[in-house]
Structure 1
Amino acid sequence: MTNVTTSPRRKVQKLSGDDSGSMETNDYENGNNGILFENDTKAVIWGQQIKAVQGMLDFDFVCGRKEPSVVASTYPFTGDHKQKFYFGHKFSAIFEILIPAYKMMKDAFNAHPDASVLISFASLRSVFETVREALEYPQIRVIAIIAEGVPENQTRRLIKVANKRGVIIIGPATVGGIKPGCFKIGNTGGMMDNILSLKLYRPGSVAYVSRSGGMSNELNNIIAQNSDGVYQGIAIGGDRYPGSTFIDHLLQYEKDDRVKMMVMLGELGGDEEYKVVEALKEKRLTKPLVAWCIGTCADYITSEIQFGHAGASANAKSETASAKNLALKEAGAYVPRSFDDLGNEIAKVKFQLLCLGIQPSDDTSSR
């Protein structure tokens, strides 16, 4: 049985900051170098999520990572202990490893200064204090908030503090994200058979951003069938105030030479998609963007309708899915006739890239 290596303790200086007041604009570009995850990214998990952690470890192994991505968990309702997990595959060597669980978050971060990601499974009632504490540690670069229904004023305050710290928040109300060959958040990507069949163990060249976590897995499938696969995928979450937005992630994809095509799956409600429209018009986004906003069926319903997400409700004509799709198309995005045609649109753009001599990623097998 192998212990996960723990790094020497270091003193972490707490930062002061006012988390009250109005929300500041998301500042992804200025606060981060744009690369969220690498093949040595390490995370701390908040909560008792044994299945999610084991799923991350299984993903690590098939991606060929040398070390597990999860170095610790923290949960205030248990004492300090170590939890047994497995790092390996049934057709090859399987190693039992012990991952430490800490009662206090500060102990987890102090013992593992190389952990740059916090994945918080805290409930909507406790997630604010949990994330607010994590933001005091300068080693943290990315925080995923899984909980749905976090009070909007609390989310806005967290975004404000995160911007000051240069931290990227994914969520609330998200399944997380995935970077094939490198790292995945929690349950993103589904079961191992799904990960293997969609070749999520190695990077493709198509990067996507989605509101919905459930639909992000559908995007994994569509992209795998109609291109060389996913390079990175992020579900920004379904609440009205996401910690990071469509344009935040798309601008980073624009900078990454390994990304050849981008996909955005928006929805009715809110105005985040119009920031993408402006970026297209201003030529800040120049790579091919396939975009679709779901919820066009709301046009045929005479009364106001609230879809599943807290932010999925159109309060003005400009917030309807049809209006957004039209604006995206006029700005230069590749917009299919319906969601059913999304895969065909991706395949068409892939063919155009091949005609321009842009080759897909090399295919590799899983470990």
Structure 2
Amino acid sequence: IWGQQAKAIQGMLDFDYVCRRNSPSVVASTYPFTGDNKQKYYFGQKEILIPAYKSMAKAFATHPEATVMITFASMRSVFETVLEALEFPQIKVIAIIAEGVPENQTRKLLKIAHDRGVTLIGPATVGGIKPGAFKIGNTGGMMDNILASKLYRPGSVAYVSRSGGMSNELNNIISQNTNGVYEGIAIGGDRYPGSTYTDHVIRYQNDDRVKMIVLLGEVGGVEEYKIVDLLKQKKVTKPLVAWCIGTCADHITSEVQFGHAGASANALGETAACKNAALRASGALVPESFDDLGNKIRQTYDDLVRQQIIIPQPEVPPPAVPMDYAWARELGLIRKPASFMTSICDERGEELNYAGVPITKVLESDMG
């Protein structure tokens, strides 16, 4: 992990624990503005120490088994940070959380990463999640959402989206209508994401543990048409449920720029409606609206169950994750009696004094 992100790291460790991992997924963090130290976290009820390094080189040398880096560097420093990480051959995946990364810098990183066989996720992403195994940063939300969406064990459905917020919605929709998520990736909202829909859909197609695929595209760009070509060429044969959000833009007379940098239609073919029509014509399972997406996923899943391509397994409850004291107190779940604390120290064996007054007199006189 690059950066001082204690809350995100603790969230990842809690996810590891609820997935019944034997050891934490996070082995170290690095931050150039502090010295080497160890930081305390929880793994279930057990307190553990995770090393933090000033030098990225020392971090990778000390932990040669680490192949994934998550960088929380800001848009001002993320280019240099990722450039340095790409120098280490052990790295296979880098997740870039920062928004607002200049497009020329992103394209340079894409070229270098492609030449070295490294997968980039982001920029402008919440990351991704592999239920039962690992999650990136704050993906999946709070623990109650993770448990409700059954992300603590793998399902049979893999998805890819641009939006991190909508990926959490997909977790919810898929968990309610199928046996759960196998893997989910939010590629990021910039016009030049580090990895594309195509990269991940092809991975899912080649993974026998994935039985169906969900694609959530959006207005702007033409990446969805590459999926159309894959469907026409029969390179994607698994059931693909797809929907492109942003159809409301067609009903607005002025040009619309949505929240993502790439979410703006600069031509008719970049509109969500045109993409949905093309996906439907190529064989994708496209609902009539986003409200109907869950029903389309449910129908597809039920068909696979009837064909015995998916065989539902008995649900095993996850282990309970202890709640932090501060959070439990904020929710009103616990209470603690008031305590008297003093910093007075006198080890001579005589009665403690406060400003020259015996402590018993202070208490008896109700002075403190």
Q: Distance in 1 between matches of 2:87 and 2:211?
A: 36
Distance 1:157 1:364 in 2: 46
**Cα separation, 2, equivalents of 1:277 and 1:365:** 39
Change (3 A) 1:354 1:361: closer
- Give per-residue Cα distances to partners, 1:16-46, cap 9 Å, x unaligned: xxxxxxxxxxxxxxxxxxxxxxxxxxxxx00
Q: Is residue 2:199 matched to residue 1:243?
A: no
- The normalised TM-score by structure 1 is 0.86
Q: Which residue of 1 aligns with 2:146?
A: 195
Displacement after TM superposition at 1:351 (Å): 1.4
Matched, 1:105 2:56: yes
Say which SS state the counterpart of residue 144 (structure 2) adopts. helix
Residue 361 of structure 1, CA deviation: 4.5
Tell me how far 1:357 sits from its aligned partner: 1.7
Amino acid at match of 1:366: P
Tell me, which stretches of 5 or more residues in structure 2 are unaligned? 320-368
Q: In 2, are the aligned partners of 1:203 and 1:361 still within 8 Å (CA)?
A: no
Q: Deviations over 1:96-139 (max 9, x none)?
A: 11101111111111110100100000001100000011011111
**Aligned equivalent of 2:24:** 68
Displacement of 1:67 in angstroms is 0.6
Matches within 5 A, 1:123-134: 123-134=74-85
Q: Closer, same or farther in 2 for the Cα pair 1:223/1:82, shift >3 Å?
A: same
1:178-237 Cα deviation digits (max 9, x unpaired):
000000000000111111111100000000000000000000000000000000000000
Residue 36 of structure 1: aligned partner: none
Q: How far does residue 275 in structure 1 lie from its aligned partner after superposition? A: 0.5
Name the stretch that deviates more: 354-363 or 60-69: 354-363
Q: Work out the CA distance in 1 between the residues paired with 2:18 and 2:105.
A: 38
- Distance in 2 between the 1:136 and 1:144 partners? 16
Q: Distance in 1 between matches of 2:54 and 2:171?
A: 36
SS across alignment from 1:155: helix
Please give the alpha-carbon distance, in whole angstroms, between the structure 1 residues aligned to 2:88 and 2:317.
Answer: 38
Using structure 2 for the length normalisation, give the TM-score: 0.86
Cα deviation 1:307-350 (Å, max 9, x = unaligned): 00000000000000000000000000000111000000000101
Matches of 2:301 and 2:2 in 1, distance apart?
Answer: 39
> What count of residue pairs does the alignment treat as equivalent?
318
Instruction: For 1:281-292, list aligned pairs within 5 A.
Output: 281-292=232-243
Alignment correspondent of 1:84 = 40
Q: Quote how far apart the aligned CAs of 1:355 are.
A: 2.0
Structure ID, larger Rg = 2
Which shows bigger deviation, 354-363 or 294-303?
354-363
Contact 1:205-1:361 within 8 A present in 2 as well: no
Partner in structure 2 of residue 354 of structure 1: 305
- Which of 39, 47, 59 pairs up with 2:15? 59
Query: Structure 1's 360 and 214: CA in aligned 2 closer, same or farther, altered over 3 A?
Result: farther
Q: Which amino acid aligns with 2:8?
A: A
The code of the aligned residue for 2:305 comes to L
Secondary structure in structure 2 of the residue aligned to 1:46: coil
Q: Deviations over 1:52-88 (max 9, x none)?
A: 0000000000101011000111111111111000001
Q: Which runs of 5+ in 1 are unaligned?
A: 1-44, 89-93
| Match 1:274 to one of 205, 209, 225 | 225
1:291–1:209: structure 2 CA closer, same or farther, 3 Å change rule?
A: same
Greater relative contact order structure (CA < 8 Å, 6+ sep): 1
Which amino acid in the other structure matches residue 119 of structure 2? Answer: I
Residue 48, structure 1, aligned to residue 4, structure 2: yes
What does residue 157 of structure 2 align with? 206
* CA RMSD, 1 decimal: 0.7
Aligned identity (percent) is: 73
